[in-house]
Amino acid sequence: MIERVAYDEFAYFADNAAEYGIAYNGPPTVRRVEVAVSPTRQLSALVWGDGPPELVLIHGGAQNAHTWDTVALALGRPLVAIDLPGHGHSDATLVHDGESRAEALARDVAVVVGELAPDAKVVVGMSLGGLTSIALAAARPDLVRRLVLVDITPGVNHEKAKAIMDFVRGPATFPSFDELLARTIEHNPTRTESSMRRGILHNAIQLDDGSWMWRYRRHDTLAEGGLTGDAEIDSSARMWDALGTITAPVLLVRGMRPQSVVDDGDEAELLSRLPSARVERFIEAGHSVQGDMPVELAATLAGFAGVDPS
């Protein structure tokens, strides 16, 4: 008899709030929305609140929109958290001739932002979402009034991100939830087991035989529909050049634990290209700042966006 694990993506907000000491007055207003980005493809997003979205949150490779749940609860502001193509509930994308991976993702994301949050005060991109946000800001500056890069610059390469790449390219399936949990905890030693359990339920699927597989696509090439693996890193001069064209205010949020993929050289290069950019260092965070220090990150985002957390 296979034990099935029940899953309701909106059932864990009270647990998020309790773990991080966030006041909780009942379930927040959150709905899942699908946006057509082509005649055959849709991107999915979580829309928080009833008012016009003030922030757009874009996750990293091998993650999904729920990685921002605690940040969104701490902010208490209307916002949109997008599932990148090939992640979460979103269809994959296709790269066009002459496009970089980040540009291909940004092309689809622009449709979602334009439909759901055209007047957002800030776009926040973590890791792969940060590279996507750079491409978005360069191509559609009307949609990016302020930009936050969470632990990413175009200078991040395969060597710096090796631990992440090895994790993403690990086993395709796991015999049990507990084995998947154990591997995830090993990769994220600073996170609590409860937060890891929630993350897996949002980011993995139980198969008919009781085994588990990740929800995101594992292929290394966009032509095959995959957006993890090598797509997590685009360190070309092209991305640095795109970053240098951005006129919107830019904030780099940098984790300072060993799990971070941004080093002093990356920070210096960003500031040389954008002297007006700000850098905020999060001492107790690694690569996933939204997971390690979500309340502190929310406060920083609110200040940069010019909104008051409620």
Q: What is the CATH number of the domain that holds 88?
A: 3.40.50.1820
Q: Report pLDDT for 12.
A: 97
285 burial level (CB within 10 Å; 0-12, 13-18, 19+): buried
31 burial level (CB within 10 Å; 0-12, 13-18, 19+): exposed
In a domain, 188, yes or no: no
- In this predicted structure, the answer to whether residue 227 has a pLDDT above a threshold of 60 is no
Residue 264 in tokens = 């002093």
Residue 294 in tokens = 């979500």
Any idea which of 141-155, 159-173, 265-279 has the lowest mean pLDDT?
159-173
| pTM as predicted | 0.94
Q: State which residues form the domain around 242.
A: 29-166+232-305
Please write the tens of the pLDDT for every residue from 70-104: 999 999 999 999 999 999 999 998 888 878 889 99
Q: Report pLDDT for 13.
A: 98
H or E segment and range at residue 44: strand 41-48
Helices then strands, each counted (H, E), the chain: 11, 11
DSSP designation for 171: -
In a domain, 216, yes or no: no
Helix, strand or coil for residue 118? coil
In a domain, 9, yes or no: no
The Cα–Cα gap between 196 and 6 comes to 16
Q: What is the mean pLDDT of the chain?
A: 91
Catalytic (active-site) positions: 127, 151, 287
Please write the tens of the pLDDT for every residue from 243-268: 999 999 999 999 999 999 999 999 99
- In this predicted structure, the answer to whether residue 172 has a pLDDT above a threshold of 90 is no
- In this predicted structure, the answer to whether residue 223 has a pLDDT above a threshold of 60 is no
Q: Are 260 and 287 in contact (CB under 8 A)?
A: yes
In a domain, 7, yes or no: no
In a domain, 182, yes or no: no
- In this predicted structure, the answer to whether residue 145 has a pLDDT above a threshold of 80 is yes
Count of domains for the chain: 1
What's the helix, strand, coil split of the chain in %, to 5?
A: 40, 15, 45
In a domain, 227, yes or no: no
The Cα–Cα gap between 25 and 31 comes to 18
What pLDDT band is residue 117 in, cutting at 50, 70 and 90? very high
